[in-house]
Structure 1
Amino acid sequence: MTVAVQGSLEEIGEPLSATTFVVVDLETTGGSPRDCEITEIGAVKTRGGEVVGEFQTLVDPGGPIPPYIVALTGITDAMVVAAPPIAQVLPSFLEFLGDAVLVAHNARFDVGFLKEACRRHGYAWPAPEIVDTVLLARRATTKEEAPNKKLVTLARVFGTRVTPNHRALEDARATSEVLHGMLERLAAFGITHREDLDSLRNPMPSALRRKATMADRVPAKPGVYTFCGPLGERLYVGTSRNLRARVKSYFTSSESRRGIRDMLALAVDVDTVVCPTQLEATILEVRMIDQWRPRYNRRSARPERTAWLRLTDERYPRLSAVKSAYGEPSWLGPMRSMADARLAASALEQAIGIRTCTTRLTIVPRADARACILKDLGACTAPCIRGEESGYDVTLLAARDALDRDVSPVVEAMRREVASRAERLEYERAGELRDALSALVDGAMRRDRLAALRACRLVAVRRVDEAWELASFSHGALAGSTRVESGVWDAADELRTRWDALEIDAALVEEQEIALRWLERPGTRLLYVDGEWSSPVTGAGRHRHWVDARRSDHDSRVGSERR
């Protein structure tokens, strides 16, 4: 006879409705826990969806707050001058936390600062259970409703009463509302108890763990690995300095990418190619992805879709951002993105007067043709109504010179415009023009560098650890590489013989850029050069400071916009 036994409450577990959550948010002077300080702590304690307590305090960081942080959070030096230091705040916060589940949006950031503060000031980190609402959002929301998982986006999706504003308590309140909105959704998928939260941390299913034996026969050497499906199809290509360790890592709980787990479920075998150098492995990976187009590779999956800027093929050309494998004469690039190609086009259009209308013009203007406002502003010679008498051919010569050779005239014209806008306090427009000029210079720099590489064949060497790493290139394509502890010149002579044996018509743009990064590292020496390896005197590299300024500004914004 079977006896039914009712489980105890302990066996059932703790319902989420009875779980205490402490949602925390920090404001800091920067992004690194070791180099930056906390300026504000805000926390909300909830149970059963009800707020049972709040914690908020400004914190004296012990030094000035960077201006971009002040602009982001509104927290000034004057506001924190009388605030307690973090050493005095921590005991109260840890008491408020107690044994609750600690919740944060991008928990790695906030927890990192709290743990570092505890370490510095001698407090034991309580090691609470941690829930990251970014992780929950990946399970509870779709890409359509939340294309990114920023707090402000999720607050909109779940209709929070509090709007995130980069102040700790307000952001913690918004995060708390988002948390409970997501838990309501996840309840339909069986996430109803505190113990169920563990299933959201991507444990590796046993069926995948058993496939870890694939790594047993993989060599512990640098090279390229390929996961293969049941029909021998290539599912995924990657590279590593230690093939065995990398392949094995796919079958651990640290692998959380859903697409990769789907790939592992299909995989039945892994092929490897051992390479003498990491450079050769990286380039071979790019070539294999281009050849096989594995369905689970996202990076380099469409290498022919490189962005370029070119003139259209018509009597009165205009600029067009296109995607193609290789550029031709009067093509600028490769650009870093289609957005950069459009920015560069706007710089050329403003500085030179390239027409911006998309109409395909006839050689002889139509009788009913009308010019746009750019003619009245003097920004276009209006070939739409003046035809060949417009002088548009002079404009085209200037455009082709910038696309093929020297962007200096455009840089100078744009520099004056940026300065003029800044003097008139039109900083936003000045910044837009600066970004357009930066994109143009960056594309021209890449054009010059790749053209120099394609114009020659060479063998180079650099010291790596206790050995010499040599590589041979022919018109941008890797012809071979090797690693030796001695006999550098003998190895170079052997690599030089591979130039004529190379069976690649044209190297992929990504391969050329990998080669350039290797060649431009400090300590790299040229052993043989066949052809001309040089940068033009009128090259865009003279204007690199515009690119550096834009990148510096971007890095500052990324550091502050962590939510």
Structure 2
Amino acid sequence: MTAMPTALLDVPPGRRLPLDDATRAADGTGAPVQLGLDEIGTPLHEVTFVVVDLETTGGSPATAEITEIGAVKVRGGEVLGEFQTLVNPGLAIPPMITVLTGITNAMVVQAPRIGEALPSFLEFAGFGAGTVLVAHNARFDVGFLRHATERMGLAWPHPQVLDTVALARRVVTRDEAPNHKLSTLAALFSTAVTPDHRALHDARATVDVLHALLGRMAPLGVTHLEDLRTATDPVPQRRRRKSSMADGLPESPGVYQFLGPNGEVLYVGTAVNLRRRVRQYFTAAEKRARIGEMLDIAVAVRPVPCATVLEAQVRELRLIAELDPPYNRRSRRPDRRPWLRLTDEPFPRLSVVRRLPATVMGEALGPFSSRSAAEAAMEALQEISTVRRCTPKLPVTARPGASSCVLAEMSRCGAPCVGGQDRTEYAVSISSARRALRADVDAAVQALRAKIAALAAQQRYEEAGTQRDRLASLLQGARRAERLRPLVTTPEIVAARRRDEGGWEIVLVRYGRLAGSAVSPRGTDPMAVVGSLTTGGEAVPAPATACGAAPVEETELVARWLEQTGVRLVSLEEGPVPLACPVRGAARHQVPGRG
């Protein structure tokens, strides 16, 4: 019978670990705490650290096995518990490993296998949102733990990981220590336990090293869990010092504006929690060189608190369009998205246009993300129909002496230019393209997939790839059209979604534009808020152009909000297009992750 872990030790609550003098309280009590704590974020003294060390039969989890697990759980400088067990690796321990660790084959023969030991360790660790896994050279230990977990068919909990080697590289100079090995750092910081390549002893030494390193990093602004996520990456001190810009910002949704020396708006962003998001800019989580340049210039942050996250997202889009901040890279001309439609003439052709009358939105695809995407969709429709590709406007009756192009000789065009087709015949020949423009893409998808399969069978893979990309663009335009068309033609929508903290989030949409949003707190009548919102919301006239009431990005934000689970329709003023998503629409043809 396989034995259970040989030791699962509960350390008495009164026992505390030795900390660096820099981390002791200044009130004379000597209680171990972290310095520099304030009310922002999760202070490090409230974070649970699970410090782990492994001994193994080799250096790679693909070929080696775990022979010992040791761990210490600590919070606020106090040990909450310890875990130690030998592990039967199921293979002979190499002599050199025995010399290094002192673990022999005889010692592990009665020990539990990893299938028993690992679940016990995971239960001890209890990885949750506020728990951090710590190890010295964490890549090694986490690699073995994760490999064993996945091999057993268990779910790896994905805890936040902190590597004390990386921390040491930040704050321990070569003048102090020749390297960042655990034994070297233990000697430098005079840890209570000397590491000796036994898992629990090394884990205990790592705890002392961790607290000493955190004590050194507190003056650098690493005082909270949010700082810890990026503490191992160097951040210029001039930037970290600017984190005070986040002080006093509300912990609510909103828009923030970074301001330059003359009060100019440098950058506009949005956040679910304004204080937390702005604070993140001054950690190593922010790696964009352009934003780093902006942060060096910025002198202040202007918040714009919003009632809901959706309102914040929409305000961000509008402010970027209005202010044109130099450090925002988003599209500043959202009204210039291209569409694909048929021209208004006796023998229409496909055309990519920037402005589309609202009256013809039902026979157009888009808007597309770029002109090249719209042209790819146009080429897809030209592949499955005989729509003409020449650009001159053709008369009803062919001109004398007109000549056809090479496409007519290849039977790719009915040649209405020379009288090869009259208007009725031409309309029939392009009917498949017209149906696709109405987002009925079934026939087009079938024809294009058959063409792709034929090309692939002939090993003409580049041509097959081109057709595949054209089909993806066609589906992208059709899906966006069928998704946005009902919204932008509906005069008014009032919808509500229950908030996690209670009450309701209420949204007013007119012609695809966010006309207002509000929150009805728990215990109040939401209909009173609905009445005030519809009365005081923005008046939005029916637009003359497709998606003319709001930029496409804004309408898509509204669409995503309405599509959330739990959103309820409060009231609806119907338009010409039913507020629905067709069951047999283009979305069912799309490959996840494309278009």
TM-score (norm 2): 0.55
Instruction: Measure, in 1, the Cα distance between the counterparts of 2:241 and 2:506.
Output: 40
Residue 387 of structure 2 is aligned with which of 349, 354, 379?
Answer: 354
State the Cα distance separating 1:472 from its structure 2 match.
Answer: 1.1
Distance 1:322 1:266, change over 3 A: farther
State the one-letter code of the partner of 2:275.
Answer: R
Which residue in 2 is equivalent to 1:306? 337
Distance in 2, matches of 1:504 and 1:245, equals 39
Number of the residue aligned with 2:571 = 528
- The match for 2:376 is 343
The 1:230–1:400 alpha-carbon spacing in structure 2 relative to 1, beyond 3 Å, is: farther
Q: Please tell me the residue identity of whatever aligns with 2:493.
A: L
- The code of the aligned residue for 2:268 comes to V
8 Å CA contact 2:366–2:480 kept in 1: the answer is yes
Residues 384, 432 of structure 2: 8 Å contact kept: no
Counterpart of 2:513? 477
Q: For residue 474 of structure 1, what is the amino acid of its counterpart?
A: R
User: How far apart are residue 387 of structure 1 and its match?
Assistant: 7.0
User: Who is 1:231 aligned against?
Assistant: 262
Q: Which runs of no fewer than 5 residues in structure 1 stay unpaired?
A: 1-55, 63-85, 95-110, 131-200, 556-563
CA deviations on 1:365-419 (whole Å, 9 max, x unpaired) are: 58474511x3233221134544764844444555344324533443343354455
Q: 5 Å matches for 1:139-154?
A: none
Q: Deviations over 1:439-472 (max 9, x none)?
A: 3233122112211112221111112212221111
One-letter identity of the residue aligned with 2:564: R
- Which residue of structure 1 aligns with residue 496 of structure 2? 461
For the aligned residues, what is the CA RMSD? Answer: 4.4
CA distance in 1, matches of 2:466, 2:386: 18
Work out the percentage of aligned pairs sharing the same amino acid: 38
The answer on whether the counterparts of 1:418 and 1:430 sit within 8 Å (CA) in structure 2 is: yes
Name structure 2 gaps, 5 residues minimum.
1-58, 66-88, 98-136, 149-160, 168-231, 544-548
Aligned-partner residue type, residue 411 of structure 1 = V
Summarize the alignment of residues 191-210 of structure 1 with structure 2, pairs less than 5 Å apart: 203-210=234-241
- Contact 2:246-2:275 at 8 Å conserved across structures: yes
Query: More deviation in 430-439 or 512-521?
Result: 430-439
Q: Contact 1:212–1:251 at 8 Å: present in 2 too?
A: yes
Corresponding position of 1:265: 296
User: C-alpha distance in 2, partners of 1:305/1:91?
Assistant: 68
Q: 1:332 deviation in Å?
A: 1.1
Displacement of 1:492 in angstroms is 1.9
Residue 252 of structure 1, CA deviation: 2.5
How far apart are 1:318 and its partner, in Å? 3.5
Q: In the alignment, which of 310, 316, 319 is matched to residue 350 of structure 2?
A: 319
CA distance in 2, matches of 1:115, 1:367: 82
Please tell me whether residue 513 in structure 1 is matched to residue 556 in structure 2: yes
| Pair 389,209 (structure 1): closer, same or farther in 2 beyond 3 Å | same
The Cα shift of 1:353 comes to 1.7
Task: Kindly provide the CA deviation profile for residues 8-53 of structure 1, in whole angstroms up to 9, marking residues without a partner as x.
Answer: xxxxxxxxxxxxxxxxxxxxxxxxxxxxxxxxxxxxxxxxxxxxxx
**Higher Rg:** 2
* Paired residue type of 1:463: R
Q: Which residue of 1 aligns with 2:275?
A: 244
Q: 2:505·2:518 contact (CA, 8 Å) conserved in 1?
A: yes
Query: Counterparts of 2:164 and 2:348 in 1: how far apart (Å)?
Result: 64
The Cα shift of 1:280 comes to 0.8
**1:335-377 deviations in Å (ceiling 9; x for gaps):** 24444323321221111222345x53654558474511x3233
Instruction: Look up the SS of the partner of 1:295 in the other structure.
Output: coil
Greater Cα shift, 272-281 or 387-396: 387-396
The answer to whether 1:379 aligns with 2:412 is yes
Helix, strand or coil at the partner of 1:261: helix
SS at match of 1:465: coil
Q: Secondary structure at the match of 1:352?
A: coil
Partner Cα separation in structure 1 for residue 277 and residue 291 of structure 2: 13
Deviation at 1:303, TM superposition (A): 1.7
SS of equivalent residue, structure 2 residue 413:
coil
Match of 2:314 in 1: 283
CA 1:342 to 1:59, structure 2 compared with 1: closer, same or farther past 3 Å?
farther
Q: How many angstroms does 1:126 deviate by?
A: 8.5
| Match status 1:414 vs 2:448 | yes
State the aligned residue count: 385
- SS of 2:560's partner is helix
Higher helix share: 1
Distance 1:314 1:283 in 2: 39
- Cα deviation for residue 297 of structure 1 reads 0.7
In the other structure, the counterpart of 2:12 is none
Please tell me the residue identity of whatever aligns with 2:507: A
CA contact (8 A) 1:327 1:333 kept: no
- Residues of 1 paired with 2:264 and 2:532: CA distance? 35
1:287-326 superposed Cα distances (whole Å, 9 cap, x missing partner)? 1111112111112433234232234566654334455698
Instruction: Give me the whole-angstrom Cα distance separating, in 1, the residues matched to 2:163 and 2:302.
Output: 45
Q: What is the match of residue 185 of structure 2?
A: none
Do the aligned partners of residues 527 and 121 (structure 1) sit closer, same or farther apart at CA in structure 2, a change above 3 Å counting?
closer
TM-score by length of 1: 0.58
- Going from structure 1 to structure 2, the CA distance change for 1:431 and 1:261 (only over 3 Å counts) comes to closer
SS in 1 for 2:328: coil
Aligned to 1:304, the other structure's residue is in SS state helix
- Please point out which of 560, 575, 585 is paired with 1:542: 585
CA deviation map 1:419-440 (0-9, x unaligned): 5556767676555444433432
